[in-house]
Structures are given as C-alpha cells and as structure tokens.
Amino acid sequence: MSRIGIHSFVWSAGSSQSELERTLANTREAGFDLIEFSYLDPANVDIDGLAKRIADLGLGVAISIGLPADGDISSDDSAVAARGVGILNETIALTRDLGGQKVAGILSTSHGLQKQAPTRDQWKRSAGTLAEVAETAKAAGVTLNLEIVNRFESNLLNTAAQGMAFIEDTGSDNIFLHLDTFHMNIEEADAALAIRNAASKIGYVHIGESHRGFLGTGSIDFAAIFDALTAIGYGDDLSFESFSSEIVDEKLSKTTAIWRNLWADNMELAKHARRFIGLGLETARLKAELVSASQRPDS
C-alpha cells in the first residue's frame, strides 16, 4: 500500500520552527502519511528536532529540490557543475538526517526555462555525474528520483521514456524516476502507458492537477493514472502537490509560474485531495479485481 504524502508548500513556504510545526500537524490532521519538504536549509532549521518530531508523529518524509542555474550538474562550466554536486550531497545528507529515503525533484539539470536545446554532451555530463552522486546516496540509504518535468522547467528529461534511457546511461541501480501527473499531462503521449512502460523504475509519484489546483477540477484523467499504478502494482510513495498564489516561495513560484489563486483554504484543499486519492486508489483496486474475475457459476 502506498503512503500518501503532501508537498509542504500546500501549508507554508516558510521554515521557521512554528511553520514547520504547523506543517506537520496539518499533514496529520488532513490524513496524510508523509511530508515532502523542498529547499529546507539545514543552516536555519533544527534538523534533529524536526526529525524527532516527524518520527513521533509517525510520518514519512521525502526531500525534493530543483537545482539552481548556478548549480546545474549538466553545465559545461565545471564550477557550476561542482556546485550542483555539492547541493545534491547536502540534500542526501539532509534526507538521511530527517529519516527519509528519497531525494526527488529536478536533479539532472537546473530547474527553469532553459535557453538552448539539450545536447548529447549535456546529457552525458549529467548522467555521468549522477552515477557518482547515486553512490553517495546509496551509502546514505537514500535513492535519487529524477523528476520528469515539462519543457518549460527543464530541457533534458521531459518524458518517462527519456528518463528510462537516461537511467540506463547512468548505469546506476540507485536512480529512479519521479513521475508527476501535472508534467505528464503536458509531455506524455499517454500518461497511463508511460507509467506501464516505466514500471520497473518508478520511485516516487506526484499527484497534481493540470492547473496545480484541486484534484478532479482539471484536464487529468486520474482514474487512468490510478488504474495504471494499480496494474503495475505500484506500492511506493505517492504525494499530492498543489500550488496557488496564496502561498509564495521566491525560488519556486516564479520558476513554476504560479500567477493564479487556485485555492485559499489549504486545509479544505488537502482533505479533498486525501479523499480523492484514497477513493481513487480504492476504486481502481475494485475495478482491477472485477475485470479479472472468472465468475464461473457457483452452483
């Protein structure tokens, strides 16, 4: 059974002690099993205290990031690439220290609208570097999960099939895919088929609507998503992600172009999402059982 998580920016973009506390409490109140933090700065956060609080609440934790432009590991500027490696290593350590097992997000390039088409050398540099970082992660008991994002947020890995090829090229067994329905809606020919094709390498999944608001109020056929996850027997973590202009993070809001108010009441949003995902997964399971029931007459 998947743990159902939620992205912390539903609750707050801040990381003060009280904001983190409220984030964890809200996560539990809304019925989620896991909290995903982005851009937590160890320098400003009592990591040990946070780890203890997460454990006490029985929550899981994952960390997602997007590399900055000046820390792009695919860059041909070795200083920039090295900075990216540093960020990845810190994130691995942070994840381990918080008691998590997954680093997710945009790791293969920087996060944001790129100015050039991707190149073969860029791909190779990124794959080679990640292969090494993945060893560091493995030693820390952490996996790398490459988020496959839309074209406006990275130029390198926009589809699950590209991600599979990229993982193959790294040669690593500690790199997986982080799929996200918001991005898949833009880039995949068929999100459900992409999930089936990538079954062996999916390590983390974001459940987000096409406009990043309330689940079910957009373009995405979530029943098809839940059916595909059920068909491949996916039982790993599944996190809800949603952004609104209500909660602004300087790093993320502009890169992801959050201009509209998709919701104001985050608790209403989160509880709705939890029910939506729960009922969706339950219904997908019932459907899969029914479609394969032999139903020979009993008597």
Give the active site residue among 36, 187, 188, 241: 241
Q: Is 147 a catalytic residue?
A: yes
Cα 200 from Cα 168, distance rounded (Å) = 12
Amino acid at 209: E
Q: What is the DSSP letter of 2?
A: P
Cα 222 from Cα 230, distance rounded (Å) = 12
- For 192-233, the DSSP string reads HHHHHHTGGGEEEEEE--TTSSSTTSSS--HHHHHHHHHHTT
Residue 65 burial by CB count (10 A; 0-12/13-18/19+): exposed, middle or buried? buried
CB of 125 to a second copy, least distance (A): 12
Residue 57 token pair: 């609440």
Name which of 82 and 186 has its Cβ closer to a second copy.
Answer: 186
CB of 212 to a second copy, least distance (A): 9
Phi, psi (rounded to 5 degrees) for 127? -65, -40
Q: Is 187 a catalytic residue?
A: no
Phi, psi (rounded to 5 degrees) for 203? -110, -20
Residue 94 token pair: 């942070």
Give the active site residue among 19, 21, 147, 187: 147
CB of 57 to a second copy, least distance (A): 26
CB of 224 to a second copy, least distance (A): 8
CB of 56 to a second copy, least distance (A): 31
User: 3-class DSSP state for residue 175?
Assistant: strand
- 261: how many CB neighbours lie within 10 A of its CB? 10
Among 150, 264, 146, which Cα is nearest to 208's?
A: 150
Q: What are the CA-CA distances from residue 201 to residues 139, 175, 221 (Å)?
A: 19, 8, 22
List, in sequence order, every beta strand (DSSP E) within the chain: 4-7, 34-38, 60-67, 102-110, 143-147, 175-180, 202-207, 238-240
CB of 62 to a second copy, least distance (A): 25
Residue positions annotated with a catalytic role: 147, 241
